[in-house]
Every structure is written in C-alpha cells, then in structure tokens.
Structure 1
C-alpha cells in the first residue's frame, strides 16, 4: 500500500476544499453570531471537547484570548457528567467541539451549560447530531464523511471554524483577507516535502513534539497521531514548559519535532530546538520560510494564526507515510473506533 492509497492521506488532501466549502456555507450563521456577540459580549468562554477536538479547543484558547481579550478555559467534562457538580456559567459562551456530536458526556455538559445560563455553540461535523440539536447556534464543519479512524480534515475544519468566527467577531479586515487566501495556501502547501520526518522516525521509540501559543494545539494533535497511527510513543509540550523537567530525557538521537509560527514565540521555540541539537538530539523544525538541515518546509505569507493549519496538514501526510514504514495501517489503529462515546 502506498500512503496515497490510505484514507488518512486522501482525507487530509481534501482539506483545502473542505475549508473553502465551510467558509462559504457558514458565512451567514457566523456573521449573525459575531454581530450578536459584539452586541452582548460573553463574560468568558468555555470550551468542551475530547481527543482531537480538544486540541482544536487548545488552539481556540490562544486565538480568542490574543485576538479578542476574552478569558477562555477548557471544561473538564467529567465535572458535570460524572460528578454532577453545578457550574457558574451565567453569561458565558460555551463552545462544544465534536466530529460526531454523539458523545454522551459532551451532550450532558452542553445541556448543563444551557441550564446554567450559558450560550451554547456547537462546532460539529454531523449537523443533525444530539449535540447540534440542543445548541443555540450550530457551526457545521462541512468536512463530509470521514472514514479513517484518525481525524484529519475534521480537525483542520474545526481550526478553520474558530478562525472564521474570530475574524468576523473581531471585524478584522486583515484576518478576513487571510481567510480568503487560506484554501489556496493549503492546496499549494500540500506538496511540501516532509519525507525527512517520515524517513527519520522509522526506527524511533519515543518522541517529543514541541509548540507554543497558536502551535501548542497542533503539537498535542501530532503527539496523539504518532501514538494512534504509527505505534510511536510521543508527548507534547510547550516550548516554555519542556525545559521544566522533560528536557532531562533529551540526549543523543532522541527525536524532537518542533512547530513554530512567525510571531513572538518564534525565537524562544527555535532556541529550544538549538539547545536540543547541542545535546545531540535528532531535531526537526517546521516553521514558515525556515531552511537548512533538519527543517520541514512551511509556506509563508499568512498571519501566524493560520500557520498551524498548514503545518498540521503536512504532518498528516507525513504521518500516513510513517505509519506504513513502521508496519501500521493508519486508517485502522488497533483497539480504536471512529466514535468514542464517553460518559
């Protein structure tokens, strides 16, 4: 089997069309929601999700807090679904993110948020799901059916929906222009050569994935996909946190994958990469416009908020190749199902 024969590869390859379709289809609902949120700003934002969707929520935290100045926190679903502890969410914006919209604990949390006086928004790929039916506003991801167990296009679609909402809520012409350019940037960046990563990790046993700010969510996502599709133990860290203990494990030949975007976190992330290299670690760095040994190409020209979408798309392609090199089928990870219904 070639990587291009896998569902993971082909579904990730659809991302540009998914994002373009989503932006066009959702403009009306997002513009109306953004207008309402400007007129009645929430006291704070709560996100609720699991797995890859929670990694999208981590990205949303940095987007909303840096662009809108509104505190954003991730809810622990078990607090409501298991412990049944009432939460003080009056006046909050509650954003639930899910591919299927079926997980009982997410549905229960959304119900509790509504009862507590929060405004519930669902970012969901299945527009007639239980989660969507109880939300005040539904933002469909428009990713279409996703048959690979490993989420790819639905994850990037969730990031795109967060960007779309932020751009309209902030009423930011520069970010709106970036949204227009994003689908074409995804199309052209698909051909970026990340074969050094897949070839370099064929025999790896452990791995760190490092990102910061807008890139932390995709670092979490990449670490999950390494475990899920490649049988490779990987852990994600902020480049600010990895020096607080985890760095002690890094030495000769220990692999580290760093994601960076061109903003105020760039220099510190690259400094961590250099320190890892000085210890003899095998370091790969993905950052816009960066060249040289150990670098993975990423397109330039878009705001830093958009870079994570380009990087994770290239990562998905490389991961589908790496999985096959390591003897795994990335579409059917052992012991996993497409929909995980936690309670």
Structure 2
C-alpha cells in the first residue's frame, strides 16, 4: 500500500460508495430531523473539515441555514450553539480524533448527531444517531481516497437532505469514470511540475466549492512533501497576500467552471504578470506567463473531486524529488490524539 496506490484507488472507492447509498433506507432515518427549521451544524478537522465546505455552500445557497465550524473551536468557544441545532453533522475519517471525542462528550444528549466516518467501529460512529460510512479502506498517511469519498458522500447527503437526489448518483458515477480516465495518464502534469519545482512555497487559491480544494491542496503539500503552502479564497488573496508575489513563489489556482471561474482566471493572469509562477487547474486559458492543467468541465459542486487529483500527483512528485516517501508522516500521525 502506498500514497500513489491510494490515489489510483479513488474511482473504485467512489463507485462502491454510490452503489451502497443508492438504497433509500440510510436516508429515510433522517426524516425525523429533516423537517426542523433549525440550522445544521457541520464540523470536523483537517481534510474532513474541508470536505464539508461544498455542502455548507450548497445548503445555504438553497436557503437551508447551516453553520460550519471546526471541532476544536466549536468545543471550546461555541458549544452552546449546538443546543439550537436541528442536527450536528460530524465528519472524521478515523472517528477517533481527540477534538471529536471531547466535543461529543460535551454535547451528547443535547442534539441529534450524524456522522461520516471511514468505518463503523470507532468512537464517533458509536455515539451517533445516524451513521454513514465511506468504506474507503485503510490509507497511507495523507488523506486521498478518504477525502474524495467524504466529498462524494456529503454531496449525496446534501441532495437527500433537501429531497433533490434524482441525479446525484448518476452524476457521481460519471465523475468516477472521469477520475479513472484522468488517472490513467490524461492529466498533463510535466509542464506544471517544471514550472513549480523551484518554488519555495505554494499558495492555493479557489472560490466557491473550489475553496475546499485550495484548502485541502495546501494541506496535502504540507503533509506529503513538507512544502510550506497555504490555501486562500480568491477574494482574501486580494486583501494583502498579493504583495507577497515573487518569482520564488508558486501559485495553484482552481478555475473549473461555475460563477466565479472567470475571476480566478483573471487573478491567475494578474499574478503571472507580477512574476509569480502560476498553474491554473481547470478551464485552460492562453497566457504565456502561466501553465494550464485542463480538466473536464463539470458541475462546480462536483469539480473538487477532479481538481484534487493533479494536486495529489504533484505532491507525490515534490516528495519524491525531495527524497521523501509520499504520505509518510514525520512528526504527526494519521489519528490526532493530542490537543
């Protein structure tokens, strides 16, 4: 088992997940809390927290109030808000992270709890009223298939929660096919690698659902390649960070359709004009100052499932170039047990 093997396994994991949840039974149990007008609270840590962002956007876009807060902050600074929620949705690959355990110990009995975990044999799943598993399997260090399977399950979750699930499963199966095609060699990464390999830091930028990709991309580069990286929204980048652009800094910008893709493309051209090394992932544009990594144009809420693939492969390449084993932790561990 290796980081690259985990990356290649993602299409099969996604197909298996969709087939598992095509049955109505797992979703029917939620009907008892679905009718409530109270807000949903979405929480997690790390990649699990980032995977919740497209769901948070979608629910609020559809007029269904949802709040997203990382578990460590919710535990210490806002546990009282849980009492007024219709449901607390907690995502954790292991279901054993220390913040998750302590949060559940604090709010147990105050709110209905739904969980998304990799398996059902963990603390979080055991203390949930509604448990959902991705069955992504064991993983080497850095989240890859557990992240994309969480994205997919949360995509299904949101559509079922709002009663708009008709096309959700077929759309995800189509994405699985596109993922497989891309991973079989259709992602042209060599120009991107050559453009970024001398950079000393990376800034990953997205808007809308692609902000989840930007945040997770930065995490993947830090974990897999030990490369300093930060994830930001395109809007936040213009409020100060633009001043840090230099020929030594690398930028990965996600622009694969949606209502703000043109803003990300515009930003990519502008950063390149200031000397930054820019890779644009998504809808390619012709600009001599940057490198594009084209992806199939899909619904922007599904696009994070494709956008993260070149990131995973690039991070593995950075790690190998540095003499590292991709996905092998140096100071931390897969399951965080220390606050």
TM-score, normalised to structure 2's length? 0.90
Please, what is the CA RMSD of the aligned residues?
Answer: 2.2
Correspondence for 1:241 = 236
Deviations 1:283-320 (A, max 9, x none): 100014656751012123x3111111011022212211
Q: Which residue, 318, 328, 332 being the options, matches 1:336? A: 332
Matched, 1:296 2:293: yes
What is the CA–CA distance in structure 1 between the aligned matches of 2:195 and 2:33, rounded to whole Å? 47
Q: Indicate how the Cα distance of structure 1 residues 44 and 268 shifts in structure 2: closer, same or farther if over 3 A, else same.
A: same
Correspondence for 1:3 = none
What is the CA–CA distance in structure 1 between the aligned matches of 2:29 and 2:308, rounded to whole Å? 28
| Structure 2 spans left out of the alignment, 5+ residues | none
Contact 1:30 1:168 in 2 (8 A): no
Q: Which residue, 11, 22, 27 being the options, matches 1:16? A: 11
Correspondence for 1:87 = 81
What is the CA–CA distance in structure 1 between the aligned matches of 2:167 and 2:22, rounded to whole Å? 17
Contact 2:49 2:70 in 1 (8 A): no
What is the CA–CA distance in structure 1 between the aligned matches of 2:201 and 2:85, rounded to whole Å? 44
How far the C-alpha of 1:36 sits from its partner, in A, is 4.7
TM-score, normalised to structure 1's length? 0.89
Q: Indicate how the Cα distance of structure 1 residues 41 and 260 shifts in structure 2: closer, same or farther if over 3 A, else same.
A: farther
Q: Indicate how the Cα distance of structure 1 residues 239 and 33 shifts in structure 2: closer, same or farther if over 3 A, else same.
A: farther
Matched, 1:98 2:92: yes
Matched, 1:152 2:139: no
Deviations 1:203-241 (A, max 9, x none): 221121100110001101111111112121111110011
Q: Indicate how the Cα distance of structure 1 residues 311 and 174 shifts in structure 2: closer, same or farther if over 3 A, else same.
A: same
Correspondence for 2:261 = 266
How far the C-alpha of 1:202 sits from its partner, in A, is 2.3
Matched, 1:122 2:115: yes
Aligned length: 333
Contact 1:42 1:93 in 2 (8 A): no
Contact 2:255 2:262 in 1 (8 A): no
